[in-house]
Amino acid sequence: MKSADHINIDGFKHVSYRITALSEEEAVTKSESYFNKLNERRSVRDYSDKWIPKKIIDNLIKSASTAPSGAHKQPWTFCAISNQELKSKIRKAAEIEEKKSYQSRMSERWKKDLKPLGTDMNKPFLEIAPWLIVVFKKPYDFDKDGNKINNYYVNESVGIACGMMISAIQNAGLVTLTHTPSPMNFLSKILNRPSNERAFLLLPVGYPKFPTYVPDIKRKALKKVSAYYT
């Protein structure tokens, strides 16, 4: 039977949607190879300065921006920075906050938990990685008269978009790190962002320096992270 290419629901157009179905066998193979790809991902702190063309960054941002969001408000802005002067400003400001965090804001327990990861207050990657992507969340937007209109599930929506960005980065053979200097409001100032944007996450994007070493840590097994009710 031929079906309509669109219908009307409550006066709003809904278009016919199809995905290419896979055979069960193909789905098993594809889900496994996607897992293997993502399982190669590691947070990398040591970057090469090798250039990455803007076209790739465009594609990463477009991938992240396909994320679902509350009422389809897409409450995010991705700022991509390759300007050396701005990267240096960001590094300097981040290290000021990180110094305070490591020296007094973080608990002893927290610092002990971070010891195996080898992090510290120095953030050279902020200057060395060819691109920094700063993700801003928008708790509200402005209507055409300048009134505030709230967005919905903003943290969930932006968190999902960041996850999709991280897998797109991995898929492009690049590396990143979820950097969350705290507080992050210096980013709004340096990047001159509008008042309705709050920095959410900073992702350096690049190639790893050679050689690069990452902590010898393991992921929890499926059994430990799941509960099936069949």
Contacts with ligand IYR, residue ranges (CB under 6 A): 98, 114, 119, 179-181
| Residue whose CB is less far from ligand IYR, 27 or 114 | 114
* Nearest-approach distance from CB 179 to ligand IYR, in angstroms: 5
| Residue whose CB is less far from ligand IYR, 73 or 92 | 92
How do 12-15 and 76-81 pair as beta strands? unpaired
* Nearest-approach distance from CB 110 to ligand IYR, in angstroms: 7
| Residue whose CB is less far from ligand IYR, 75 or 204 | 204
In the bound state, the residue with its beta carbon closest to ligand IYR is 119
Which stretches of the chain are DSSP H helices?
24-39, 54-64, 84-100, 108-114, 125-128, 154-171, 186-191, 222-225
Q: Is the dihedral of CA 184, 95, 77, 38 positive or negative?
A: negative
Amino acid found at 22: L
Q: Which residues pair with 149 in a beta bridge?
A: 141
* Nearest-approach distance from CB 69 to ligand IYR, in angstroms: 25
Torsion of CA 78, 84, 88, 93, to 10 degrees: -20
Distance of alpha carbon 163 from alpha carbon 166, whole angstroms: 5
| Residue whose CB is less far from ligand IYR, 54 or 111 | 111
* Nearest-approach distance from CB 169 to ligand IYR, in angstroms: 18
